[in-house]
Structure 1
């Protein structure tokens, strides 16, 4: 079984003896109840990873001796999901599941038909929740690379992102082709950008802009999924087809 993962600063990863303190240390010692002699993985969230033995365990942290270290290569092609803002806590649910499924980047998007709106203090708080969710889900999934959760995007920003992608896809129930049938890019380009719309669907103006930028409307399957679950389902298809799974 893969050891539990705890996050530390990049500068600490070069040492042979690494102390995990602060909230992360307390989580290891109190929540996970890590004890002396156990094996853990430490990561900086950027792909640097160390397999360690715990030499000390206290109530507020652990001390680890490095046995081995390595760099995890960045997955290719990169998978970015533009996620329209769901209602309630379904946004965090979407981020959690997509992180577990291996998404590389999540872009929260204020679509025209989103019921939820991020404004003022709520915007910063909601974005913070998405980022915290991605961090914890990445640890749960034993990932060495944390997904990037970008700032809130509007239609213009999403259109630009789609225009720069190797493959841009808009999930749409009227798409002429299935997602599983699209030709996927190879190599180290900008990767695949996938747009998941809101519960109320895309507006005509959004679809026009996205398709003009080169996005391909694609059908995920015979059923209509919620916006909070469509992303993880689409990622599963792309992960398998791209050979990342």
Structure 2
């Protein structure tokens, strides 16, 4: 997969590939004239093309078909995680795996115990997202949102019927999920920082409608809790979507 801006979507038209994507095509994948590629725009647009020309500045790709628009499938999960203090590549791992698992977006959450995240770190994470999107062959980008103060989160929670808060002393997540509707279009996952949320922060989120869920008997790191909860919810919603599709046949 190669990400490209597709202003045209008619068979026979030519799209110019430059910059990082051109470097990746020619230096990493070693693609040349007549090789076929799939172009995507990050918003569900997908089209097959054939490389017609390669020069020092870019590649020309001829579209072999009209672009197809692929709609997102199932519940779109939005992750709010307080990972700004993670070190040693742990935040990179969190973002990469959220992308591979299919999260719709990730928002760095700023809390009393995790009150900042460096701008240059966000730029690096953006590049990791693009690499992971292509590696796992997603046609919809995962959006890395600007950092959000926790006092702004309750509004989003109150507007969602599926909002889950990772909590050490809460009922197991699998015991809560069957009681929830799988017909919603989107849902929220909320994971606290190292040291967890304060009692006041937890109270505010619960009052807004967040459902506390447990992730097992062991104390988990921020990135482990994030991936554990996202995996459980993705598998649950994917199974519900599959069952509904089978029933409609």
2:5 is the counterpart of 1:6 = no
Mapping 1:52-201, distance limit 5 Å: 52-68=49-65, 69-85=67-83, 86-88=85-87, 89-114=89-114, 117-118=116-117, 122=118, 124-179=119-174, 181-182=176-177, 183-187=179-183, 189=185, 191-201=186-196
Structure 1 match to 2:234: 239
Distance in 1, matches of 2:52 and 2:180, equals 46
Larger displacement relative to structure 2 (13-22 or 160-169) = 13-22
CA-atom RMSD, angstroms?
2.1
Instruction: Classify the secondary structure of the residue corresponding to 1:11.
Output: coil
Q: Deviations over 1:134-165 (max 9, x none)?
A: 12211111111101111110112222221111
Distance in structure 2 (CA, Å) of the matches to 1:10 and 1:161: 32
SS in 1 for 2:113: coil
TM-score, normalised to structure 1, is 0.87
Superposition deviation, residue 58 in structure 1: 3.9
Paired with 1:142 and 1:174, the residues of 2 have a C-alpha distance of 37
Q: Residues 188 and 74 of structure 1: is their aligned pair in 2 closer, same or farther, counting only changes over 3 Å? A: farther
CA distance in 2, matches of 1:10, 1:95: 26
Q: Secondary structure in 2 aligned to 1:82?
A: strand
1:212 aligns with 2:207: yes
Change (3 A) 1:207 1:44: same
Kept after mapping to 1: 8 A contact 2:164/2:213: yes
Q: Name stretches of at least 5 consecutive residues in structure 2 with no aligned partner.
A: 243-249
Residue 238 of structure 1 aligns to a residue whose secondary structure is helix
CA distances 1:205-239 after superposition (whole Å, capped 9, x unpaired): 11001000000100123333221122222222112
Change (3 A) 1:94 1:13: farther
* Structure 1 runs (4+) greater than 4 angstroms displaced: 12-15
- Counterpart selection for 1:221 from 216, 219, 225: 216
SS in 2 for 1:87: coil
Question: Separation in 2 of the partners of 1:127 and 1:14?
Answer: 36
Looking at CA atoms only, which structure, 1 or 2, has the larger radius of gyration? 2
Q: Supply the distance in 1 between the matched residues of 2:10 and 2:175 (Cα, whole angstroms).
A: 42
Q: 1:236 to 1:105 in 2, by over 3 A?
A: same
